[in-house]
Each structure stands twice: as C-alpha cells, then as structure tokens.
A and B are shown apart, each in its own frame.
Chain A
Amino acid sequence: MKKGLHPLVMIALVAMVTLAGRALPTWTLSLATIAASNALIALGIVVLARTGNVSFGQGLFFAAGGYGVALIANTWGLTDAVAQVIVGAACGGLLGLVIGPLIARYSGIFFGMLTLALSMVFYGALVKSTALGGSDGFNVGRPSLFGMSFTDPREADFMLYAVSVIVTGFAGIAATILFRSEFGLASLAVRENNLRVEYLGLSANRIISINFLIAAIFAGASGAFALMAQRHIDPQFAYWTTSGEFVFVAVLAGNQSVAAVFVASMALELVRSFSNLYLPNTWQLVLGVFLLGVILFLPRGIGSLWIRDRHRRRHISATPPLTAERGAAP
C-alpha cells in the first residue's frame, strides 16, 4: 500500500469532519457520536480479524470501559470528557491485558465462543449486582471538557461529537499506520499460517495478544463514548447482541478500508433510525434486509466501493472477506 493516503491528509480529513459538525442538524450530532463510538469498537474487531480471529465478546470491554468511567465519575466526580475516554480505554486495556494472553492460544470458533462466554459472565454478574442498579443500570452526570461545562444542548452535543470524531479519527489513522507496519503485516501472516510465522522466529501468540489488547483498548474507549452520549449504563452493554452488532458493523465495512468502518457505522445508525420511524413494526426486517443486501452485493464490505480493482488484486490473497471468516467459523 505504498500509495496510500499520507497521515497528514488523514488528519486534515478528521479536522474537516469535525468542523462539519457545526453545520449538521442537532439530531445528527448525537447519532454521529454513537456511530463514531461504534466505529471505534468495530475498528478494534477489524484489527483483531487481521490475525484471523473474530471476537464475539467485545461487549465485555465495552461494558468494562463504560462501567469503569461511570463508577469513577459518580465516586470522584471526574467529568472531563477526555479523561473519561482515557479511563475507559485503560479499563478495557487492563482487562484485555489479562484476558488476551490466555485466549490467544485458541483460534477460530473456540476463540469466538470464549470471548462470547466471558462477556456473558460479566453480563450475568452485572445483572446480579443490585448496588449497580442491576439490570436497570444507573445514570451519570453530563461530561465537561477542560473545565468547561456545556448547558446549551447543541453545544454539549457538538462537544461530544468533536471529541468522539477526533479520538476515533486518530484511532483510525493509528490503525492505518499499524496495518502498513511490519507488525501489521505479520498479523496477516498469522492468519495465513501461524506455524510458518513461528518458524520465522515470531511468536504468533504474542501477535494475537497485542492485537487483542488494541481491540480491547478501542472497545473500552468506545464504552466511554457510549456512556457520555447516553448518560446511562446498564448490563446490556455486555450482552451478546451488543457484541454482535459491532461484528455486524465490521462485516458491513469489510477490512479493506478504515474509512469504511465509519461509513458503515453511520449507515447502520441511519437505516435503523429511519426504519424505526417509518416502519415501527418491521424495523428489524429492514435492518436485516439491509445487512443481507450489503453481504450479497458487496461481499467485501462497503469499503470495496472505493478501493479499486488493482488494489484488490494485490490484497486478494491476503485479506479474504470477513464474511467468509464468519461463514467458516460455525
């Protein structure tokens, strides 16, 4: 990918999208915040998927980040948005650091099922903890930024939008750089043949663990955003349908383009919202048809719309679509 976008161009893109928020109608701001937050966690799944493993339990780190931030916010009054993102990322990362090396020894369906199981264990524990509001969860106050608090709803929404787009954008840039790096290419090699990677003197387990840790950090930060956007947390954050939705975003996006993850996430939120408004009785059907449509007509994800043919030919052996991965797993 020697002719890819220069990182400076990508930074300019992020700045542009952030400023575009000034012109967007208010309702799209919070929608975009959620979409950016989902994109961040889906990006983590894409990072991990490059090693050939799909996590069906990212809800675990998502909830860990969310609950960590919520508890710290309610106990010590930490309301700063940037600090909350860091706390969320740290909570997710710490958990990833513990779980990653243990789980890296498994692959394929065993890997997926174990991540799913761990997230559901956490879900079960949260539902039981009445001190944390049980299944109803609890509320947190609104976030501030660098000592400024925002009382005007539009300004508050824009602040969150800006922080989430910038953080997710930089995570995307970091991921792009990572994908092009030696480590990123070694991750792809692990997916192709981890035995050969071992013979090259690299530890496949270590590579998977590090990718897992990155995914966990992204998921924790994403949990912090989701919490800030909705000011409420409940065990649903760790439920398997939540995790499944993130995998869907990753499938929709495909793993050819980082930008596709953002586009896919936004498209999913828009389709969901409008189908719920116009077809309140059958919105799930619309969502399902949309997903099926993308899988049927764009089997390599939304990213294949703008990643050209020659590009694809080069990568065709290296990156089979995530859908095939999922198809093969069960």
Chain B
Amino acid sequence: MNHFWRANRALIVASVAAMSLPVAAPASAQETFKLGIVTFLSGPAADSFGVPARNGAQFVIDQLNKGSVPSPYEKVGFGGMKIEPVIIDENGGATKQVQELRNLYQRDNVDVVLGYISSGDCLAVAPIAEELKKMLVLMDCGTPRIFEEAKYNYVFRTAAHATMDNVGLVRYMKAKNIKMDTLSAINQDYAWGQDSRADFVAAAQQLYPNVKVQTDLLPKFGAGQYGTEISALVGAGSDVVYSSLWGGDLQAFVLQSAPRGLPKRSQLVFSAADHVLPPLGDKMPDGTIIGARGSYGLMSQKSPLNDWLFRGYEAANGVYPVQAAYRITQSILGLKAAVEKAMSKNGGKKPSTDEMVAAMTGLEWPSPGGLIQMKLADGHQAIQPIAFSRTKYNPDLKRVDLIDIQYFAAECVNPPPGVKSIEWIKGGMQGAKCN
C-alpha cells in the first residue's frame, strides 16, 4: 500500500515539475516570428469557420515561408523572418480565452496573437492585450462594440464588422428591385442573431420606408429543429424572410424549409451563408440571396492574389475557400505588410511591438477579397468591400454557382469614422459613398 502511494506521489511530483518547466523558446528570435493563432478547432463554430480558418492559416503561412505568394507579398515569411505558428483552440468560453491569451504572450512569448471568431471572445481578450501592451489582431468577430465602446492602441481588427453584412444586403435587394412590403425574420437568440436582426430591420426601414415586420422569431442557438418556426413563416407568407443563421443551424433550416415550400412563398435572404453552399449542394434553393461577409469565395473578384488563394487552398483541402479562410488570409497578409513597413523604417531589424502597432495603424493592403483599409477607430478597425448574389445550382460542376453578383464599395456599406453603427443606419446612412 505504502509503495503504491509513494510511487503515485512521485509520479504526481514529477508531472507537476514537468509541467512547470518553462516552454523552451527558440533562441534565434531574429530569424523567426512567433505568431499565436486562435480559432475554433472544436465546438459548433469549428466546422463552419474555425477549421477553414485554421486550414487557411496553414496554407498561407506555408506559402509565405516558401516565398511563393504573388506580389506584393513575395518576401519570405514576414520580412525574411520565418513564421512559426502556435495554434490553439478558441472553444471553451471567454474565461479560458483570457487565460490562454496571457499564456501565449507571457509563457510562449509569441510576438503577435491573431485570430478570434466569437464576438464574446474578442470583447474579452481586447482589454487584456491592451494592458499587457502586446499586439492583438482580431481576424473575424462581428460585433461593432469592440471599438465603439472602448479605445485601444494595441488591438486591431482586419475585417469589417457586421454592419456591412446587413446594410449591404438591403442595398443589394433595393438594387435588384426585390419587393419587400412585408418582412419576417428568424435569427438565433444570442448577440450575433439579435444584433444582425436589429441592423437588418433598421436598414430595411431606411430603404423600404413602408416595410411591415410580420413574424420575428428568435429560436435558441443550436436549436436544429425549426418545424414550428417554419409553420409560422409559411403562415405569414411575407415577401421576404431574412436570417442570419449560420453553420449547422442554417443547414437544418434550409433542409427543413424547402419541402414545406417556404422558398417558393417568400424570397429567402441570408446575410452570411456562403459557407453552407459546399455541404448543401443541390439542397440549396435556387434564387436565394446570400452574403459572405465580404467578397469571398465564389463571389471574389479575379486577381492574381485571389487565384493564388482560391486554387491553392482548393488543391490543399479539396474544397474551395469560404469566408473564414479569406478573413484569416487578409489578416495574416495585413500583419505581414505592417511588419515589413516597420522593418523598412527601422533598418531591417525585427520590429518591436510599438513599431508594428505604428505601422499597422491606418494601413491599407491588397487581399484576395479586395482592398482592406484600416479607416475606423483611429486606424484600428478595417473596412472592406462586400458582394451579394443569388444561388443557382450547377449540375455539371455539382456545386452551387452564384449569379447576379454585385459589389459594394467599402465606404458605401460601412459607417464613417466616429459614428456608431446602429446610429448611422438609423440616421439614414449619411455620408455613404456608393458611386
């Protein structure tokens, strides 16, 4: 008995000791750039966003380290430094993310942390990076609150916030003369769903002043079964049914609503649905209006940079890239542009955090999804162009094609600096530049 305990205790002591050893950091900091990457590898958002983002990051970092990215990103890694990624899982809640962010900076000594898909996580980690005076690049999360409720020096978001998803969608509907006297909505009952719904309704009331909101549903996140909701929507028979559902919830909703004839009765408009096109295939009703939170995937515009990402990612992963892969790509390329800008100023040394922050503030860089401009929040929040389109199944290629694609300039669908998003929409979207 005693032997057992002693052995056991020795084991525990040894494992505790092993765990408390500092994680060995590579000595030649000059030669590598350690990049912490946080994305969902498990949980409901993994399949739709997290894993495509991880695959995108791996593809881009691999290509950058080989120096095979087209102009203007031909340089190896970040300004000659090889990129060394440390990838961790975003699943587990904001408490865990705050702790893991500290660990990345303080224990693993990463130079920059890049990532985050959930708005809750973004809101939670931003003040921590600011306090630690470390650079944090948010790559996706939707909520405009991050920079509208606080001011950060060390935090950047390299993608536009969710306002343009709904403003752009309503502008697209107006441009395509979609009739919308009556509107119904179905959104998940958590911040993304509630905020998207508020933005869409506010924007619709601006461009369609006579619109009547009929059925307004907020099923819980991850509900999966929408029988009752679909009955209510079919019963209302509105001109338009709007939804910000995503991932498995959106797939379930589409699969369940098609046999009930909802797509024939109402025009379906989905603010962020491109990522469900590959799994849904011919189950996606033709003529559905969808957005992709940018000009991404099948809606992306032709350019050498876009061809490189689209073909390379497809070859590596067997499926074409959708929004999350594009968003992490534009994030990594933006950071690369900032690091190299800082290095051109300091004589080619590895830049300090402050030098990188100064270089990134207000930066503009080309990405596969178009030009990214850090124009909002004193140069810390990006704006970008966005595209919308209609679905049409292509039986020859066995994939959903996107037709009637229309692009909107970044300044047409994003608020100008210094204005809160929802107030901008409700105030009639003053100052929008739509050509």
Chain B residues whose CB sits within 8 angstroms of the CB of A230 once the complex forms = 94-95, 98-99, 124, 128
Q: In the complex, which residue of chain A has the Cβ closest to the Cβ of B105?
A: A27
Q: What are 5 A-B interface contacts by the 8 Å CB criterion? A: A130-B194, A135-B120, A137-B120, A231-B98, A236-B93
User: Would B120 and A229 count as touching, CB distance under 8 A?
Assistant: no
User: Would A232 and B12 count as touching, CB distance under 8 A?
Assistant: no
Question: B90-118: which have CB < 8 Å to A?
Answer: 92-96, 98-100, 102-103, 105-108
User: Would A305 and B9 count as touching, CB distance under 8 A?
Assistant: yes
Interchain CA distance A3-B156 in the complex, whole Å: 58
Question: A167-203: which have CB < 8 Å to B?
Answer: none
User: Would A232 and B124 count as touching, CB distance under 8 A?
Assistant: yes
User: Would B88 and A277 count as touching, CB distance under 8 A?
Assistant: yes
A133 at the interface (CB under 8 A from B): yes
The one of A34, A270, A283, A309 in contact with B95, judged by C-beta atoms closer than 8 angstroms, is A34
The one of B95, B150, B189, B194 in contact with A139, judged by C-beta atoms closer than 8 angstroms, is B150
Identify which of B15-23, B356-364, B392-400 touches chain A. Answer: B15-23
Chain B residues whose CB sits within 8 angstroms of the CB of A138 once the complex forms = 123, 149
**Which B residues form the contact surface with A (CB < 8 A)?**
1, 5, 8-9, 12, 16, 19-20, 22-23, 41-42, 86-89, 92-96, 98-100, 102-103, 105-108, 119-120, 123-124, 126-128, 131-133, 143, 145, 149-150, 189-191, 194, 221
A105 at the interface (CB under 8 A from B): no
**Which A residues form the contact surface with B (CB < 8 A)?**
25-28, 30-31, 34, 127-128, 130, 133-139, 142, 153, 156, 226, 229-232, 234, 236, 239, 241-242, 267, 269-274, 276-277, 280-281, 283-284, 297-298, 305, 309
Q: In the complex, which residue of chain B has the Cβ closest to the Cβ of A273?
A: B103
User: Would B106 and A234 count as touching, CB distance under 8 A?
Assistant: no
Interchain CA distance A51-B165 in the complex, whole Å: 54
User: Would A242 and B93 count as touching, CB distance under 8 A?
Assistant: yes
Q: In the complex, which residue of chain A has the Cβ closest to the Cβ of B97?
A: A230
User: Would B191 and A134 count as touching, CB distance under 8 A?
Assistant: yes
Interchain CA distance A31-B107 in the complex, whole Å: 11
CB distance from A187 to the nearest CB of B (A): 29
Interchain CA distance A26-B100 in the complex, whole Å: 13
Interchain CA distance A169-B20 in the complex, whole Å: 22
Chain B residues whose CB sits within 8 angstroms of the CB of A270 once the complex forms = 16, 19-20
User: Would A277 and B120 count as touching, CB distance under 8 A?
Assistant: no
Interchain CA distance A26-B99 in the complex, whole Å: 12
User: Would A27 and B124 count as touching, CB distance under 8 A?
Assistant: no
A-B pairs under 8 A by CB, number: 121
Given A142-B131, A234-B120, A137:B94 Cβ within 8 A: yes
User: Would B106 and A26 count as touching, CB distance under 8 A?
Assistant: yes
CB distance from A315 to the nearest CB of B (A): 17
Chain A residues whose CB sits within 8 angstroms of the CB of B22 once the complex forms = 25
CB distance from A134 to the nearest CB of B (A): 4
Chain B residues whose CB sits within 8 angstroms of the CB of A226 once the complex forms = 95
| Most chain A beta carbons < 10 A, residue from B102, B103, B107 | B102
Interchain CA distance A234-B143 in the complex, whole Å: 14
CB distance from A256 to the nearest CB of B (A): 14
Chain A residues whose CB sits within 8 angstroms of the CB of B92 once the complex forms = 276
User: Would B128 and A309 count as touching, CB distance under 8 A?
Assistant: no
The one of B12, B42, B93, B191 in contact with A305, judged by C-beta atoms closer than 8 angstroms, is B12
Chain B residues whose CB sits within 8 angstroms of the CB of A236 once the complex forms = 93-95, 120
Chain B residues whose CB sits within 8 angstroms of the CB of A142 once the complex forms = 127, 131
Q: In the complex, which residue of chain A has the Cβ closest to the Cβ of B51?
A: A281
User: Would B106 and A232 count as touching, CB distance under 8 A?
Assistant: no
Q: In the complex, which residue of chain B has the Cβ closest to the Cβ of A130?
A: B194
Chain B residues whose CB sits within 8 angstroms of the CB of A283 once the complex forms = 89
User: Would B94 and A234 count as touching, CB distance under 8 A?
Assistant: yes
Chain A residues whose CB sits within 8 angstroms of the CB of B9 once the complex forms = 305
User: Would B128 and A231 count as touching, CB distance under 8 A?
Assistant: yes
CB distance from A41 to the nearest CB of B (A): 12
User: Would B87 and A273 count as touching, CB distance under 8 A?
Assistant: no
Interchain CA distance A2-B119 in the complex, whole Å: 53
User: Would A136 and B106 count as touching, CB distance under 8 A?
Assistant: no
Q: In the complex, which residue of chain A has the Cβ closest to the Cβ of B123?
A: A136
Interchain CA distance A91-B221 in the complex, whole Å: 29
User: Would B124 and A153 count as touching, CB distance under 8 A?
Assistant: no
User: Would B189 and A276 count as touching, CB distance under 8 A?
Assistant: no
Known: A27-B107, A28-B20, A276-B88. 8 other contacts (CB 8 A): A130-B194, A133-B191, A135-B191, A139-B124, A277-B88, A281-B41, A281-B89, A284-B42
The one of A27, A139, A281 in contact with B106, judged by C-beta atoms closer than 8 angstroms, is A27
CB distance from B25 to the nearest CB of A (A): 12
Q: In the complex, which residue of chain B has the Cβ closest to the Cβ of A298?
A: B8
| Most chain B beta carbons < 10 A, residue from A27, A267, A270 | A27
Chain B residues whose CB sits within 8 angstroms of the CB of A128 once the complex forms = 189
Given A136-B123, A232-B127, A31:B93 Cβ within 8 A: no
Q: In the complex, which residue of chain A has the Cβ closest to the Cβ of B108?
A: A277
Lowest 9 A-B CB distances belong to which pairs?
A: A232-B124, A135-B190, A27-B106, A27-B107, A136-B191, A230-B98, A134-B191, A136-B120, A135-B191
The one of A127, A134, A229, A280 in contact with B98, judged by C-beta atoms closer than 8 angstroms, is A229
Chain A residues whose CB sits within 8 angstroms of the CB of B99 once the complex forms = 30-31, 34, 230, 269, 273
Interchain CA distance A30-B104 in the complex, whole Å: 13
User: Would A137 and B123 count as touching, CB distance under 8 A?
Assistant: yes
User: Would A305 and B5 count as touching, CB distance under 8 A?
Assistant: yes
Chain A residues whose CB sits within 8 angstroms of the CB of B98 once the complex forms = 229-232
Interchain CA distance A246-B157 in the complex, whole Å: 34
User: Would B100 and A276 count as touching, CB distance under 8 A?
Assistant: yes
The one of A139, A153, A267, A274 in contact with B133, judged by C-beta atoms closer than 8 angstroms, is A153
Chain A residues whose CB sits within 8 angstroms of the CB of B102 once the complex forms = 27, 30-31
Chain B residues whose CB sits within 8 angstroms of the CB of A133 once the complex forms = 123, 145, 191
